[in-house]
Each structure stands twice: as structure tokens, then as C-alpha cells.
Amino acid sequence: MSPEKRADLKGFSTRSVHAGESRDKYANAITTPVVQSSVFVFDDTAEMKQYVAGKKNRLEYGRYGNPTQRVAEEKLAALEEAQDALLFATGMAAVTTALLAFLSGGDHLVVTDDCYRKTRVFSETTLARLGVETTFVRAGDCEALADAMRKNTKVVLAESPTNPHLYIVDLARAAEITARNGAKLLVDSTFATPYNQQPLKLGADLVIHSGTKYLGGHNDLLAGVVLGAEQVVGPVRDLQGQLGPTIDPHCAYLLLRGLKTLALRVDKHNKNGLAIARFLENHPKIERVYYPGLDTHPDHEVAKKQMRGFGGVVSFLVKDGLEKTLLFIDSLTLPYLGPSLGGVESLVYHPATLTFNDLSKAEREKLGITDNLVRYAAGIEDEEDIIADLEQALRTI
Ligand SMILES: *Cc1c(COP(=O)(O)O)cnc(C)c1O
């Protein structure tokens, strides 16, 4: 579908349902088929020649894309209002391939701290081994970002909201600082989704999402996506063709299905997140709540300016230390205990135990991962039930 046609689909949910989908589908089906094929064959050598010369837009081999994936990419591009989109097998494949596409030995990378754990590990180990130096700056501190820029800074990778503290980066300011330095701004917008935030409109060069979270939305798939102008996505696509972390056709189908209800789900996640944050903020057994929708959050004004809603993830500190925190988590009956976020089922987890267990307590605390930190990723259950469950669990401690 051409970008002009995409613009005809004005509303976000209309685009969620219809963008990228041809009306003329295999066997008159209403849904996009899962095209389970690794090869896409040619009629004759003349067609092959046309294709190689770029005169025919079609597929060739599954590592370079499949038809179900293409439809999901069109839909995502329409939702993020991006010229181009490229899907990956996982969010980390999207993050690492994008970084490798734009960085070489001797280059400098700036990453906002409080970032996804494996993104930090990739910068500190693999990129360091290849001769790329990384500076971490406090998310939300644009002065620190400006100070960190060097002549050889090629990429700034910002997450907003961040994980797990839900800090907010002023994306328009970050884009301006990055562009002034001739670098590229990549934004991991997973926690926001294209429904809550559109970094490209604020000047970002590339948006990245883990599709595993809100985009898929049902805790049943792994996916990643990068979105931006064709000339920015192009080098990432070339490198994906070499590295091979392509999305599987069936997974692309599940993602397509999830995307159709994105706005409905995210509205509910936003509502639940805010309700949980408000409830916990006033609870005597809670020390502190991190949620950008609260007016006590340090980045609330920036969040309001650049976001439609604030998402379903709420992090908070339980009073009186580790034992009480673990007892509280184990007393919850509604959420599942585990990592991840963005699915219909609520999930709760203890970052210090699961994700940061390889660090010493002192190292964890430097990252703000204290023993009493809990991350609650609200699903789409009813707000009253989530709050009642939190209330009874807090009574046990
Ligand atoms: C989950 C997540 C990733 C990694 O995505 P996977 O699909 O698990 O590989 C990257 N960034 C953020 C912010 C995430 O939440």
C-alpha cells in the first residue's frame, strides 16, 4: 500500500485493523494468510532479471522477508507513521542489528542509563570488543547528554519510558542535541507503543520496539521492529540479510492479529497503570512509586507533552526491606510471577532477583535496583480486581 493510501486511514484503530491488508486475499479469506514458504519462485529468467534490476517488487528467499511479514510491516509503518518498517525475530535482534549497522570500531555510542538489561550488556561486552566505546547518561538529563557527545559519537540510543524506573527522555531535545552532532537518535519506544508516543515526529531517526510486549500483546510471541525513513532502515535491512534474525511467517501472523486491538488494549493498560500508581502512592506500606502519569514524577511535564498515555508498567519500593517485599510479591494472586510486560495477563517481578542477579548488591543499587523494588506490568484485567489483590497482599506484610 502506498503511503498516500495509508494517510486515507486516519484513525489509529482504523489503521490497526486495515493498514497493509489487501482486500484481495488468497481464497477470499478476510485474514492475511500465513505463507509458510522459504522460497518464492520465478516464472522465467526474464522475471528474475527484472527483479534483480529493481523493476519488480516481489520476494525471493525467506531470510529477506515473507508475505505475512510484509503485511505486518506495512501495518506497523502506518501506525508509527514511518516510511519503512523491518521486523525481526526478537526485540534484541532489532536493537543489536540496528546498533551494528551504524557503528564501527573507533566510534562512540551514548545510551541512556536505566536501559534494558541486555542492551547494556551488549554495549559493555560485544560492542566494546569491537572497539565501540559507550557512555551511559542519566535518562532525562539532556545537559548530561549534550556533555557526553564527542566528535566520534555516531549513535544515541534512548529508551523512553525507561525500564524499570519509567524515566522520560525529552525526545525533541535529545533529537536536537543528537542532530547538532551529526549523530543518529535511536529510540527504544517499547514501553510506549506507537499509540502512546511517536518519536519520529519528535525528530528521532529510528524507532525500535520489542514486538513481544504490547504490539503482540498476548504473551505468545517474540518479535522486534525498527521503523524510520527508507535510507535509515535500509542499512539495517542489509545487515539483517547477513545476520539472519528474520521473523517467522506464523509469528508475523500472530503479531498482525495482536496489532488489530492495539489501541483498545493500550487504553486499558494506561487506565490500569494509572489506577495502580494512584493507589500505591497513597499506601502507608509503599515508600515510593515510579509512574510518569503521576504529577509527583520528576518527568511528568515532559511525559504529558510527548505521550498520549503512560502505559501499564508501574515500579515501586515496598517499605521495610527484602523479606517484606518478597512476601508481598508471593501474596499477590492475580498477576503471574515473571519478566516481560505488555500482554493481556498482568505480570509482577522482582528485578534484583531475576535480571540483575549477576551484580553485587552495591552495583545493583548504583543502577537503582534496590532489594525492595517491584515492577508490576498491568494486563487488561479489571482495575477493581487488580487493586483489591494489591490491597490484600499489602495487608499480609
Ligand atoms: C523486552 C525488551 C527488549 C527486548 O525484546 P525481546 O523481544 O525480549 O528480545 C528491548 N527493549 C525493551 C525496552 C524491552 O522491554
Mean pLDDT value across the chain:
96
Active site residue 70: no
Can you tell me which atom of ligand 1 is nearest the CA of 223?
A: 7
Same fold yes or no, 3-23+61-259 and 262-395: no
* Whether the predicted pLDDT of 145 surpasses 90: yes
User: Could you give phi then psi for residue 88, rounded to 5 degrees?
Assistant: -130, 165
| Mean pLDDT of all residues in 386-396 | 98
- The whole-model pTM stands at 0.96
Quote the pLDDT of residue 312. Answer: 98
Which is catalytic among the residues 70, 114, 116, 248?
A: 116
- pLDDT tens digits, one per residue of 45-67: 999 999 999 999 999 999 999 99
Quote the pLDDT of residue 302. Answer: 97
Q: Which residue in this structure is represented by grid cell 535510507?
A: 231
Quote the pLDDT of residue 379. Answer: 98
Domain range summary for the chain, segments of one domain joined by +: 3-23+61-259, 262-395
* Whether the predicted pLDDT of 193 surpasses 70: yes
- Strand-pairing partners, residue 136, are 111
List the CATH code of the domain at 262-395: 3.90.1150.10
Query: Separation of 92 CA from ligand 1 center, angstroms?
Result: 6
> How many residues are given for the chain?
397
Q: What's 3-23+61-259's CATH class?
A: alpha beta
Query: Separation of 116 CA from ligand 1 center, angstroms?
Result: 7
- Of the listed ranges 22-26, 175-179, 180-184, 382-386, the least confidently predicted one is 22-26
Percent of the chain surpassing pLDDT 70: 98
Quote the pLDDT of residue 68. Answer: 98
Quote the pLDDT of residue 2. Answer: 47
CA angle 147, 150, 151 (to 5 degrees): 145
Active site residue 84: no
Quote the pLDDT of residue 358. Answer: 83
Burial class (CB in 10 A: 0-12, 13-18, 19+), 242: exposed
- Strand-pairing partners, residue 366, are none
- pLDDT tens digits, one per residue of 221-242: 999 999 999 999 999 999 999 9
Band of the pLDDT at 79, cuts 50, 70, 90? very high
* Whether the predicted pLDDT of 4 surpasses 90: no
Which is catalytic among the residues 84, 107, 114, 188?
A: 188
Active site residue 141: no
